[in-house]
Amino acid sequence: MAQDQAGSNDLKLEEFEEFIEAGELEALRAERDEMRDKFMRALADAENARKRGERDRREAEQFGGSRLARDMLPVYDNLRRALNVVTDENRAQSPALIEGIELTLRELLSVLTKHGVTPIMPEIGDTFDPQQHQAMFEAPVPGTKAGQIIQVMTEGFLLHDRLLRPAQVGVSSNTQG
């Protein structure tokens, strides 16, 4: 009996349209279309927020340690400088000390590399690249072309694909090659 009552209460679409005035039907359709548009926009916003959150999470995972890595670079530089001034006489007098510095430098570089930090090691004669190098000075050096690296002060570093620190270099300013 409940089914019979429900069936008799159902109105066919034509009867419903006759029941509602034409203006009301158009207003309901417009409201339906507006709600559908709002729903689709909310769905798109939610998807964009999900993608943005995923991208932010990946970037935080990759680049979250950039401050620590940047703070460790002076330690690397100082160990490198210490080894650059070692003479054969120093090496003969304190071989264990020199070996300890070399091992510490290698271990530091290994740990940095493990976390996505890679050195930028320009060579004298390479072309200056403003995306990876910072020109500390320019000087005319015979036998070089303008824009060639003539001195490397410090190595640069990348964190994955981002520049952590540019290599500091001197650049030739010769106008003739």
In CATH, what number is assigned to the domain containing residue 138?
2.30.22.10
Residue at a domain's end among 44, 61, 78: 61
pTM confidence score: 0.65
Mean per-residue pLDDT over the chain, rounded: 87
Instruction: Determine the average pLDDT of the residues in 54-78.
Output: 86
Q: Return the pLDDT at 80.
A: 94
Residue with tokens 């500091």: 168
Instruction: Specify the number of domains making up the chain.
Output: 2
Kindly state whether residues 40 and 8 are assigned to the same domain.
Answer: yes
Q: Return the pLDDT at 56.
A: 85
Phi/psi at 156 (5° precision): -100, 175
Q: Return the pLDDT at 15.
A: 63
The answer to the question of residue 44 being in a domain is: yes
Strand, coil or helix: 128: coil
Q: What is the largest CA-CA distance in the chain?
A: 109
The answer to the question of residue 53 being in a domain is: yes
Cβ atoms 153, 122 nearer than 8 A: no
pLDDT at 28 over 90: no
Q: Return the pLDDT at 127.
A: 95
95-114 and 66-84 helices, crossing angle to 10°: 150
Q: Return the pLDDT at 131.
A: 95
Q: Return the pLDDT at 58.
A: 83
* Cα within 13 Å of Cα(126), Cβ side: 16
* Cα within 13 Å of Cα(164), Cβ side: 29
15 or 145: whose pLDDT is higher?
Answer: 145
Kindly state whether residues 18 and 81 are assigned to the same domain.
Answer: no
Q: Return the pLDDT at 64.
A: 75
Kindly state whether residues 78 and 112 are assigned to the same domain.
Answer: yes
The answer to the question of residue 177 being in a domain is: no
Q: Which domain does 39 fall in, by range?
A: 2-61
154 or 176: whose pLDDT is higher?
Answer: 154
Residue at a domain's end among 21, 40, 61: 61
Kindly state whether residues 56 and 69 are assigned to the same domain.
Answer: no
Kindly state whether residues 83 and 133 are assigned to the same domain.
Answer: yes
Q: Return the pLDDT at 72.
A: 93
pLDDT at 17 over 70: no
Kindly state whether residues 161 and 127 are assigned to the same domain.
Answer: yes
Letter for the amino acid at 59?
A: E
Band (159; pLDDT cuts 50, 70, 90): very high
pLDDT at 25 over 80: no
